[in-house]
Amino acid sequence: MEFPIYLDNNSTTPMDPRVLEAMLPYFNEKFGNAASRNHSFGWTAEEAVDYAREQVARLVGSTSKEIIFTSGATEANNLAIKGAYEMYGSRGNHIITVSTEHKAVLDACKNIEKKGGSVTYLTPNEDGLINLSDLEAAITDKTILITVMYGNNEIGVVQDIKGISAIAKKNGILFHSDATQAAGKIPVDVMADGIDLMSFTAHKMYGPKGVGALYVRRKNPRVKVTSQMDGGGHERGMRSGTLNVPGIVGFGKACELCQNEMADEAARLSVLRDKLEKELLTIEEAYVNGNVAHRLPHVANISFKFVEGEGLMMGTKDIAVSSGSACTSASLEPSYVLKSLGLDDELAHSSLRFGLGRFTTDEEVDFAINHVKEAVHKLREMSPLWEMFKEGIDLKTIEWAEH
Amino acid sequence: MAYSEKVIDHYQNPRNIGTLDKEAKTVGTGLVGAPECGDVMRLQIDVDEATGIIKDAKFKTFGCGSAIASSSLATEWLKGKSVDAAMEIDNMDIVEELALPPVKIHCSVLAEDAIKMAINDYRLKQGLEPITDDKKHY
């Protein structure tokens, strides 16, 4: 085993060696610009992009004409939200989203509000799922877009996408989904799921960083987004800029591998994840965050009450995970996702997120289980809150001398 | 985030973890911070009434590595000091000793507050006035 053991695949994934192999020729051998129409360097690059576009489209059930390449999911989210807002401005200026979305969606929505648009941020239930009735109630005659992520990056919760898209369709509203964590991990099909715009990226599925895609529906209805990056009209006028050919080739290969291996991988990883979770839940006052039934197969977000997340990560330095603790975020605020679920402070500051992946082994999970158990135990010995809990004191009754 | 070696050392080998009897007249307890901030420190001192020297100090902390190290270091410094000298401990001394980055300075402030609160708790038990601190924290 190599240390630290990487269990943070929600943050990024190691590139699959087969992806790297596919990309290499496009750096200094077949290095042409895919938009160079007049010579074989360009044609070779264009061909590689076309092929990759097919591979990407196939993974999500779309056609190649509907895939717009971007620099990643953040850009795709921005393009979807700002692009739809600008394109459909005559129809309305209201967007509905959820408070647990990724910052790329939330900050793009804030930008819309600055421009004079209005945004409704739905609050999910305690388990992270939104109420479809809340969604319906939020719709107005000015609503032009609903954006709800497919799988949550912190807690792994998978929303009722079909239910949401049915409501969107019924009301003639476009539905965008940030599928960054879900694509390549679980079956995502824009046709079956009724999605009009969808963001996803290569580096979450064992591909390179710096390349992603926005799926833009062409039929029933035909959707367009106003470009946010101008200069040459690439990608059907929706995203200008020389294509990242090696990145795109890698993205395509990564999608193909996921398509072939996804089902087996999900089955294997959910067994490992369930084992990890079951063992860690034997620790007293340990809680899973998010709905356990509707969840990505490789994610576990667990809070260890009365122990602080960053301190816990320091004690588990042989594994690489992430925490919803304030100390680990630049702003000293605890995870807004966990707070949206209504988590108490002792739990919001105390979480660890485990993201298993293609290269995670049984041995590594066994090691992680023991490693975390030891660290939690050690930190509890050091925790005044744990001591008070054990004495039967209700922490909510204490008046804290904050500063 | 890269921790300084001293912070890591205090984390791996914390000094003086434990609990003193908070009802005892010679024990002063300081409990600072709040769960919602992600930092709670409890610092306790046991004072020799005759000499005014702190003969024992214990801590427990819910917080990040820097918070744990700050409070652990505080207990090390408190032992053997007079109560008056302990009042002079400044958070920037802790920052320097542990090489805390700017984003972790508040951990040292919390430790200083805990020390002062523990001292004042002891003073109140001894029938003395608590010492108020007008110092600005940067």
As given in the structure block, the two tokens for residue A302 are 């667990």
CB of B100 within 8 Å of a chain A CB? The answer is no
Residue A208 pLDDT more than 60?
A: yes
Residue A375 pLDDT more than 90?
A: yes
Helix, coil or strand: residue B95: helix
Q: Find the Cα–Cα–Cα–Cα dihedral A176, A135, A191, A237, rounded to 10°.
A: -20
CB contact under 8 A, B35 and A332: no
What is the tens place of the pLDDT at every residue in B18-37?
999 999 999 999 999 987 77
Give the chain A residue whose CA is nearest to the CA of B106: A403
Question: Residues of A with CB below 8 A from B16's CB?
Answer: none
In sequence order, which residues have a C-beta less than 8 Å from that of residue A139 and are 6 or more positions away? A96, A167, A171, A173
What is the tens place of the pLDDT at every residue in B51-78?
999 999 999 999 999 999 999 999 999 9
- Distance of residue A293 Cα from the nearest chain B Cα, in angstroms: 29
Burial (0-12, 13-18, 19+ Cβ within 10 Å), A379: buried
How much is the pLDDT for B37? 77
Which of B33, B65, B103 lies at the smallest CB-CB distance from A314? B65
CB of A217 within 8 Å of a chain B CB? The answer is no
The phi-psi region of residue A356 (left if phi > 0; otherwise alpha if psi is between -120 and 50; otherwise beta) is beta
Question: Residues of A with CB below 8 A from B29's CB?
Answer: none
Residues B58 and B34: beta-carbon distance below 8 Å: no
CB of A320 within 8 Å of a chain B CB? The answer is no
As given in the structure block, the two tokens for residue A314 are 């320091």
Give the chain A residue whose CA is nearest to the CA of B58: A382
Q: What percent of chain A has pLDDT over 70?
A: 97
CB of B91 within 8 Å of a chain A CB? The answer is no
Interface mutation vs chain A, best among B64, B75, B108, B132, most A CBs within 10 Å: B64
Question: Residues of A with CB below 8 A from B10's CB?
Answer: none
Report, as an integer, the average pLDDT of A360-373.
98
At the top level of CATH, the class of B5-125 is alpha beta
Residue with tokens 């709905």: A291
Residue B131 pLDDT more than 90?
A: no
DSSP 8-state assignment for residue B129: P
What is the tens place of the pLDDT at every residue in A293-324?
999 999 999 999 999 988 898 899 999 998 87
CA distances from A318 to A151, A313, A350 (A): 27, 9, 18
How much is the pLDDT for B137? 53
Which of the two residues, A349 and A77, has the higher pLDDT score?
A: A77
What is the tens place of the pLDDT at every residue in A108-140?
999 999 999 999 999 999 999 999 999 999 999
Interface mutation vs chain A, best among B23, B36, B132, most A CBs within 10 Å: B36
Give the chain A residue whose CA is nearest to the CA of B44: A384
What is the tens place of the pLDDT at every residue in A61-81?
999 999 999 999 999 999 999
CB-defined contacts A:B, below 8 A: 92
Q: What percent of chain A has pLDDT over 90?
A: 91
Q: Is B64 a residue of the active site?
A: no
Q: Which domains, ranges and CATH numbers included, belong to chain A? A: 5-10+262-385 (3.90.1150.10), 17-258 (3.40.640.10)
How much is the pLDDT for A332? 66
Sign of CA dihedral B95, B100, B103, B104: negative
As given in the structure block, the two tokens for residue A37 are 């129409």
CB of B27 within 8 Å of a chain A CB? The answer is no
CB contact under 8 A, B35 and A311: no
Average pLDDT, chain B: 91
Of A124, A126, A144, the closest CA to residue A135 belongs to: A124
Domain definitions of chain B by residue range? 5-125
Question: Residues of A with CB below 8 A from B68's CB?
Answer: 311, 382
Reported ipTM: 0.90
Residues A178 and A102: beta-carbon distance below 8 Å: yes
How much is the pLDDT for B138? 46
CB of B115 within 8 Å of a chain A CB? The answer is no
What is the tens place of the pLDDT at every residue in A153-185?
999 999 999 999 999 999 999 999 999 999 999
Helix, coil or strand: residue A237: coil
What is the tens place of the pLDDT at every residue in A211-263?
999 999 999 999 999 999 999 999 999 999 999 999 999 999 999 999 999 99
Which of B14, B35, B106 lies at the smallest CB-CB distance from A349? B35
In sequence order, which residues have a C-beta less than 8 Å from that of residue A245 and are 6 or more positions away? A26, A30, A31, A32, A33, A34, A45, A48, A49
Rounded to two decimals, what is the model's pTM? 0.91
How much is the pLDDT for A163? 98
Report, as an integer, the average pLDDT of A12-38.
97
CB of B101 within 8 Å of a chain A CB? The answer is no
Query: φ, ψ for residue A286 (rounded to 5)?
Result: -110, 135
Of the candidates B83, B107, B109, B118, the residue annotated as catalytic is B107
